[in-house]
Chain A
């Protein structure tokens, strides 16, 4: 199924050229950079912002929110899942709470978070944690419950202690699910970050979107959007690479979303 290099690279490249070309054409035709800046102006704005350090500050602020929030949220999700897998009673007790909170989604907490913490960095960190906790919790728990019983039996028959069964059978068996959950969590966290920064923060890429819009600098707005996209792709690629490195034993399904 693997196509040769030119076959893989040329079509996306061609399509990108078509998109950029039509964007340029429409922008030229409109001739109003406040309505639609051309790709060229956006590129210039991007270089400009990266050069004067503003963009770097915003990126660092956003990554700070993301790192802290994701660390807290994914950590809580992971630990709770492990505890639930170990103590069935805990799972029965918190399951209704999870089912109650999960559908509400991080976004709906924004006004409440603003009310509680005031506009500032706590709002995005809180929302990112909230959003990131659930997918990894659900996936990890499913992974731990779904361990093939034959593998547990095999471990026992080979003389593994209870502890070794957990470290050498349950953990590795659940790992692909954990990583898949981590990827889902990151996607949710990323969207929560942008939304929270837009509405309830005084720093970060999302906050900058409205800032530049105030000054009708649509070229800069677009530059920030481009950076959000690039960083999102990079973060996802990072987790994919991690999966590849850690669970290379698992038959790969690279096309699964």
Chain B
């Protein structure tokens, strides 16, 4: 990726949360650059600050030190330029599928006719035809996930920030949605037609299957422990259980395992 201007540039980022029982250092000295069309996954044990990293880039939290640049501009607060997909989707329960998807354009002041056109295109893209008028509580988990993805895409954001978007799905739906996500992102298209993605996940195999690079974070405080290049060809859907992928998963797991065990022990005690 050298030679390209990064879409997201994170330099010596630190974040300390101030809490009632003292301060918690969530992130320390994070350096990371994500190029145009690059899919970067972040994995790490519980408490490694994955979600904190994402909220800083999204603009929900301000860095304690260091800086985050998106397209050369410093991040201050959320912006429709950076699409966010939330852990439990955060769909507006009082808006139908179509109205959820149309919220971003509505907020940007897009005219009604054009809004309708955007909504229809995205409903078709994510495969929710016939469900436009349903409310979120009437949808299955996979359908909600599709709706949340479409809602993020409706602003055509330059970067996609995704916080464990598939974690709430059952294993089979998750596999289907991973390949759907790749298709919509442009797995089969040339790299210059794709968006930059920062994808936080618990699943190591998911990270390997989806991304170009996997950033492994260490915990307490969260630091970059390793960056693993995933040199598998795209499109990926056929490569799900290739020996190469399995080798990478094992390699990443070896990096995380001890800390993951510590994390579980701490949570239990």
Whole-angstrom CA separation of A160 from B77 in the bound complex: 12
Give the residues in chain B near A173, CB-CB below 8 Å. 94
Which of B60, B80, B93, B96 is A159 in contact with, Cβ under 8 Å?
Answer: B80
Which of A151, A161, A247, A248 is B92 in contact with, Cβ under 8 Å?
Answer: A151
Contact A157 B137 (CB under 8 A): no
B-contacting residues, A135-179, CB 8 Å:
148, 150-151, 153-161, 164, 168-169, 172-173, 175
Give the residues in chain B near A159, CB-CB below 8 Å. 78-80, 104, 107-108, 155
Instruction: Give the interface centre of A151, A153, A158, A169 by most chain B CB atoms within 10 Å.
Output: A158
A251 at the interface (CB under 8 A from B): yes
Give the residues in chain A near B108, CB-CB below 8 Å. 159
Size class of the contact patch on chain A: 20 to 34
Contact A157 B95 (CB under 8 A): no
Contact B93 A157 (CB under 8 A): no
The closest CB in chain B to the CB of A248 belongs to B135
Q: Which of B81-89, B228-236, B253-261 contacts A (4 or more CB under 8 A)?
A: B81-89
Chain B at the A interface: mostly helix, strand, loop or mixed? loop
Which of A157, A164, A168, A251 is B84 in contact with, Cβ under 8 Å?
Answer: A157
Contact A161-B107, Cβ < 8 Å, known A153-B78, A154-B84:
yes
A250 at the interface (CB under 8 A from B): yes
Give the residues in chain B near A155, CB-CB below 8 Å. 92, 103, 107
Question: Could you tell me the distance in whole angstroms from the C-beta of B165 to the nearest C-beta in chain A?
Answer: 13
Give the residues in chain A near B79, CB-CB below 8 Å. 157, 159
B5 at the interface (CB under 8 A from A): no
A112 at the interface (CB under 8 A from B): no
Give the residues in chain A near B82, CB-CB below 8 Å. 157
Question: Could you tell me the distance in whole angstroms from the C-beta of B185 to the nearest C-beta in chain A?
Answer: 18
Give the residues in chain B near A215, CB-CB below 8 Å. none
A87 at the interface (CB under 8 A from B): no
Whole-angstrom CA separation of A247 from B94 in the bound complex: 7
Contact A154 B93 (CB under 8 A): no
Contact B80 A158 (CB under 8 A): yes
B90 at the interface (CB under 8 A from A): yes
Contact A249 B135 (CB under 8 A): yes
Which of A148, A248, A250 is B90 in contact with, Cβ under 8 Å?
Answer: A148
B144 at the interface (CB under 8 A from A): no
Instruction: Give the interface centre of A154, A155, A250 by most chain B CB atoms within 10 Å.
Output: A154
Contact A172 B94 (CB under 8 A): yes
B151 at the interface (CB under 8 A from A): yes
Which of B77, B80, B90, B104 is A151 in contact with, Cβ under 8 Å?
Answer: B90
Contact B103 A249 (CB under 8 A): no
B217 at the interface (CB under 8 A from A): no
Give the residues in chain B near A161, CB-CB below 8 Å. 107
B58 at the interface (CB under 8 A from A): yes
Contact A168-B137, Cβ < 8 Å, known A150-B90, A158-B151, A247-B94:
no
Contact B94 A250 (CB under 8 A): yes
Give the residues in chain B near A160, CB-CB below 8 Å. 103, 107
Question: Could you tell me the distance in whole angstroms from the C-beta of B48 to the nearest C-beta in chain A?
Answer: 21
Whole-angstrom CA separation of A50 from B264 in the bound complex: 73
The closest CB in chain A to the CB of B96 belongs to A249
Whole-angstrom CA separation of A25 from B154 in the bound complex: 71
Question: Could you tell me the distance in whole angstroms from the C-beta of B214 to the nearest C-beta in chain A?
Answer: 24
Give the residues in chain A near B92, CB-CB below 8 Å. 151, 154-155, 168-169, 172
Whole-angstrom CA separation of A80 from B72 in the bound complex: 45
Whole-angstrom CA separation of A164 from B108 in the bound complex: 11
Whole-angstrom CA separation of A164 from B80 in the bound complex: 14
A-contacting residues, B32-61, CB 8 Å:
58-60
10 A-B pairs with C-beta separation under 8 A: A148-B90, A157-B82, A158-B80, A159-B155, A168-B92, A168-B103, A173-B94, A175-B94, A249-B93, A249-B96
Q: A148-B90, A153-B58, A159-B80 are in contact. List 15 more A-B contacts (CB 8 A).
A: A150-B87, A153-B84, A154-B84, A154-B92, A157-B58, A157-B78, A157-B83, A158-B107, A160-B103, A160-B107, A172-B94, A172-B95, A249-B137, A250-B94, A251-B137
Residues of A within 8 A of B (CB): 148, 150-151, 153-161, 164, 168-169, 172-173, 175, 247-251
Residues of B within 8 A of A (CB): 58-60, 77-80, 82-84, 86-88, 90-96, 103-104, 106-108, 135-137, 151, 154-155
Across chains A and B, which 6 residue pairs bring their CB atoms closest together, nearest first?
A159-B80, A150-B90, A158-B104, A154-B90, A157-B84, A156-B78
